[in-house]
Every structure is written in structure tokens, then in C-alpha cells.
A and B are shown apart, each in its own frame.
Chain A
Amino acid sequence: GQQVMQIPQYQHVQEGEDFTTYCNSSTTLSNIQWYKQRPGGHPVFLIQLVKSGEVKKQKRLTFQFGEAKKNSSLHITATQTTDVGTYFCAGHDGGATNKLIFGTGTLLAVQP
């Protein structure tokens, strides 16, 4: 079945450093979404990317969808303590079903 892997599993940075998480799918995706889950919380939608090679920015966050629509990345510039949490990518395979398959997640810890 479809698998979505993320690396790294865990990243510890000093406040102000940059952070990147990478997402790779075993199959081509129709779109990819990113979610953030704070410790003890639930996933919160960040963004959706649909087009091959698409790049979107939200303040310090930059999201990219690969040309082959099988990979994606999230880059955070100058991390802040409020960025702490687990970042998940989630992809639709474009089939008739509405399966949104979540990646394995990257836990970001930010030291003040």
C-alpha cells in the first residue's frame, strides 16, 4: 500500500536556526497537505499543494511540492519556541477513495 515517510524523525534546534523536514511518498500524489500537531494536541491544517513544483510561503514557512509529485518539504526560517510540535505531511493518491495518508512526522524541539 501507499507509504509516506518523513525525515528526520526528530530535530532539536536552537531558537533562530532554520529547520527542514522532507516527505517522500511511494506513489504519485494528487496533492499534499501539511499539518502541525502540538504536544498533547490534534493536527492543525497548515497548507495544501496541488501543482507539480509548487512553492508556497506562509511568513517564515516555505512549502514545496516536487516535480514528480512524490515528495515535498517544509522549511522554517529562524525558528521560534512557538514552532515546537510534530509536522506531518499527508497525501492524497488521487484515487476514487478519499484516503489522506499521513507521513511518519518530524518532531521539532526548539531550545530558547
Chain B
Amino acid sequence: DAGVTQSPTHLIKTRGQHVTLRCSPISGHKSVSWYQQVLGQGPQFIFQYYEKEERGRGNFPDRFSARQFPNYSSELNVNALLLGDSALYLCASSLERLGGRRTFGSGTRLTVV
């Protein structure tokens, strides 16, 4: 079985641009969560989606948005990129809506210049 897949693996963007990151969960997993991990810190929760609905949101500005598709894949969108948005963006899938182990993808390394 394929694990959680994320694309692209690396990305370089200019300040003010927009970026879309993609995630495909493990087959059968209906929950997808997005995390931002700055170098040397723990992952920070951005969003959680279950059955195509937003179920949780972290303390991120409205420039960050996400959605989940009928096949349970997900996109994370970030508008008006700032230098501080440079980070590893991790997607995690899980079976349950609440609780449960997370299986992480390898992440997308975003660099904003």
C-alpha cells in the first residue's frame, strides 16, 4: 500500500506569490491534517479535514486555506507568501475523525525568497 504522498517535494517561491501543496492520504483514510514545521521546532497544526469538512484550525492567518476532495486528497493554499512561511509542510492522514495515530508524508520543503 502506498503511504501518504505529497507534492511537490521542494518549492522555491518569491514573496507575494501564491502556492498550492498537495497531499494524497493512505487508502481508506478519510482524515487529513496539515502541519508547518520550521527548522528546529515541532510541527505546528494548521488544519484538519475529515469527510471533506474542516474539523480543526490552528492559529494561522487567513492567507492559509485548504480543502479536501471527494477522493480524500487535500490541497493547502498559501496566498501572499512571506519570508516567514519558509518551512517544511507536512501532511498526515488518519482513520479516525478524532484521535488516532497520524501517518505523515515526507513533506514539501517551501523556500520563500
Residues of A within 8 A of B (CB): 1, 4, 30-31, 33, 35, 41-45, 48, 88, 90, 92, 97-105
Contacts and interface: CB of A to CB of B under 8 A. Distances in A.
Nearest to B3: A42
A102 B33 CA distance: 13
12 contacts: A1-B59, A35-B102, A42-B90, A42-B105, A42-B106, A43-B92, A90-B102, A98-B48, A98-B50, A99-B45, A99-B56, A99-B58
Contact of A42 (B42, B44, B56, B104): B104
A92 B100 CA distance: 10
A41 to B, nearest CB: 8
Given A30-B99, A43-B43, A92-B98, A97 B104 contact: no
Given A33-B101, A43-B90, A98-B98, A88 B33 contact: no
A45 B56 contact: no
Contacts, number: 61
A74 B59 CA distance: 28
B25 interface: no
Contacts of B31: 98
Contact of A100 (B50, B102, B107): B102
Contact of B33 (A42, A44, A98): A98
B42 A97 contact: no
B65 interface: no
A92 B92 CA distance: 15
Nearest to A4: B42
B48 A97 contact: yes
Given A42-B107, A98-B48, 17 more contacts: A30-B99, A42-B106, A43-B43, A43-B104, A44-B104, A45-B101, A48-B99, A48-B100, A92-B99, A97-B57, A98-B33, A98-B55, A98-B56, A98-B99, A99-B48, A101-B45, A104-B41
